[in-house]
Amino acid sequence: MINNWKQQVLEEAGSLFEKGSEPTKVDESQQAQINALYRQIGQLKVERDFLAIPKRNGGTRVLGVPTVGEVVKRMLEPVLEPVFDENSYGYRPRRSAHDAIAVTRKRCWQYDWVVEFDIQGLFDNINHDLLMKALRHHCQCRWVLLYVERWWKAPRQEPDGTLTQRSQGTPQGGVVSPLLANLFLHDAFDAWVRREMPRVPFCRYADDGLLHCRSRRQAEYVMTRLTERFRECGLEINPDKSTIVYCKDRNRREEHEVVSFDFLGFRFRPRRCVDRGGNIHPNFPRKRRRPRHLGL
């Protein structure tokens, strides 16, 4: 399958040689130019530019931009997209955060409890061996595997010029990194939940996710299993952004400490509502959080 997409990439690349030409076929001259370009790319040394930017809550985020990442992404995405779960919404074509918000809103009415989790430093802690194992399972194209492995092994150049060897992680900033992160979490989380807890619906957007439960006991069990699972995969849950939430409204009136959560810029919490009969009651819809003021 991936060879068919390689041919499509070549044909579309051929259209770039002549402005305005249709990206359907290439002549022999253009094909020869493309083949020569691929031979040159194959001889290139893989390099990566790194840039450290400050985080809002302290620390830094390392951005890395691979040189031929866009080509690899276009090769891999059609192969991996059919594999990904329908409840995964982050960094995927024709899916958005609003889709994740819509399905979350419906499930909060159907289920009393929510397990909210955030993975701490996902892009910095992805295990290379586990990800390569998953990638080889779905992709047999040797040059794609070669370049992905080269990117991971490429050292990071610090501001003082020294080189730091890397043994894990896929830096943010590269066009392939979100796709590879989704593949890693598909095996580490999505497929695992489907297999181990098939009756627990979930929604994931990149490294943020929710699982919906019927009772607090079930929610505590899910949180324990989830923490153990991520630890097995070399990841840790962020304790400050992960919790168990009670979806309180007029039909669910128990008193619990946590009755709200934030997900993708929206706050889910009990709000004062008026029904068709004019009765005032609490409900559990979403509310858009106030936009943060960003300093220049």
pTM for this entry: 0.74
- Quick: pLDDT tens for 177-209: 899 999 999 999 999 999 999 999 999 999 999
Cβ neighbour number for residue 292 with a 10 Å cutoff: 8
| 232 membership: H or E segment, kind and range | helix 216-232
Q: From CA 222, how far away is CA 229, in angstroms rounded? A: 10
Model pLDDT, residue 293? 37
For residue 94, pLDDT over 80 is answered with: yes
Contact 117, 226 (CB under 8 A): yes
Cβ neighbour number for residue 161 with a 10 Å cutoff: 6
Contact 249, 111 (CB under 8 A): no
3-state secondary structure 112-145: CEEEEEEECCHHHHCEHHHHHHHHHHHCCCHHHH
Model pLDDT, residue 250? 83
Residue 186's closest CA among 38, 81, 47, 78?
81
For residue 22, pLDDT over 50 is answered with: no
- Quick: pLDDT tens for 153-176: 778 777 788 888 887 888 777 788
